[in-house]
Amino acid sequence: MPAKPVLASCTVAIKAKDFLIRGLHNLRPEHRGAVATLGSFDGIHLGHQAILGQLKERAAYYRTASVVMMFEPQPREYFAREQAPARLMRIREKVEALAGTGVDRVFCLQFNRALRTLSAQEFVERVLVRGLGIKCLVVGDDFHFGRDRSGDYEMLVRMGALHGFEVLETHSIEMGGERISSTRIRRELELGNFAEAAKLLGKPFRISGCVVYGQRLGRQLGVPTANLNLHRYRAPLQGVFAVEVALDGARVAGVANVGVRPTVGDLIKPVLEVHLLDWSGDIYGRRIQVEFKHKLREETKFFSIDELVTQIQADIAAARRYFAASDGSEPVAVV
């Protein structure tokens, strides 16, 4: 399998210095006149990629910069908090992935009380016209915005005619007779259908992050783990998995647990813990990328630590059988 690059530090810069712009107050005159799109872009799946492709085409036509606008937190997180749908990507992963698509900038607005109270018309006038001075806005066909989600494509067309910007609508992309969406991908991940999720994403599902110090319980149990804080209320998947970790230019097989460690009972928010098979070394502070290959079982609460250790050893054996039985690209029976 081809090697995949590993980011050597958790402080690696993201593309150009002004690639990420946070807030209206950081907009400068040279940022005006862009072609923009607006959305959550969670996962940056094939539907999002179609929008980004049209964004870059129109930016080339106008000979200006392409800008992806997004909110933090995502609006549904602001309103529903821990009840909001699980993120496929945290903000850093999303910004890095957007940089890889070739767009010129990401413009991030804090979603707060002031922003949520703006009407659709006020948002267009303050942010799109007076702030960015857009030449064109590219949106998906299910796009709504503004207070009470009152803004839509037809409203944007009217505002564009008034303020002199073009509005283009990108139609949804379907696969298997169903619209590609972040919701659909979450469903496939919950079911452990990683091959199907990869088709919808256009790439395997991965989680990246900085390895942090934990309680070192795994080391005490003889199975040291690399721990990643997921920085979200909920994870898009939960359980025990066979995974591959990008490390030192190679891909290392491993076993991962995503959850709150119910046997120990010390967590509220989920973490990702990875035990690397046939590898040892210190990777604290390193940024790694974990690719999910196959679900082994659900996360379970055991009655004792000894029971937990027995199950961990069984998980390791199951992962070894999985990787031995395939090249890791297709699910196989693991018993």
| Residues 105-155: tens digit of each pLDDT | 999 999 999 999 999 999 999 999 999 999 999 998 888 888 878 888 999
Identify whether 10 is part of a domain. Answer: no
Q: Which two tokens stand for residue 164?
A: 């002199």
**Helices 194-201, 182-190: crossing angle, 10 deg rounding:** 160
Q: Do 45 and 145 share a domain, yes or no?
A: yes
| CATH code for position 99 | 3.40.50.620
Identify whether 278 is part of a domain. Answer: yes
Number of structural domains found in the chain: 2
Q: Can you give the residue range of the structural domain that contains 128?
A: 20-175
Identify whether 189 is part of a domain. Answer: no
Please write the tens of the pLDDT for every residue from 62-102.
999 999 999 999 988 888 888 889 999 999 999 999 999 99
Please write the tens of the pLDDT for every residue from 30-73.
999 999 999 999 999 999 999 999 999 999 999 999 999 999 99
Q: Do 24 and 171 share a domain, yes or no?
A: yes
Q: Do 242 and 160 share a domain, yes or no?
A: no
Q: Cα(161)–Cα(163) distance, rounded to whole angstroms?
A: 6
The end-to-end CA distance of the chain, in Å, is 25
Q: Do 171 and 31 share a domain, yes or no?
A: yes
Q: In the sheet where 166-170 sits, what is the strand order?
A: 20-22, 105-110, 66-72, 35-38, 136-140, 166-170
For the entire predicted model, the pTM comes to 0.87
Q: Do 159 and 243 share a domain, yes or no?
A: no
Q: Do 34 and 166 share a domain, yes or no?
A: yes
Q: Do 166 and 232 share a domain, yes or no?
A: no
Identify whether 180 is part of a domain. Answer: no
| CATH code for position 303 | 2.40.30.30
Q: Which of 155, 175, 195 is the last residue of a domain?
A: 175
Q: Which two tokens stand for residue 335?
A: 């018993």
How many residues does this entry show for the chain?
Answer: 335
Burial class (CB within 10 angstroms; exposed 0-12, middle 13-18, buried 19+) of 202 = middle
Identify whether 105 is part of a domain. Answer: yes
3 state SS of 147? helix
Identify whether 199 is part of a domain. Answer: no
Q: Which two tokens stand for residue 170?
A: 């990108």
Instruction: List C-alpha distances in Å: 117 to 123, 148, 173, 242.
Output: 10, 9, 31, 45
Identify whether 1 is part of a domain. Answer: no
DSSP calls for 5-47:
---S-TT---SSTTSEEESGGG--GGG-S-EEEES--SS--HH
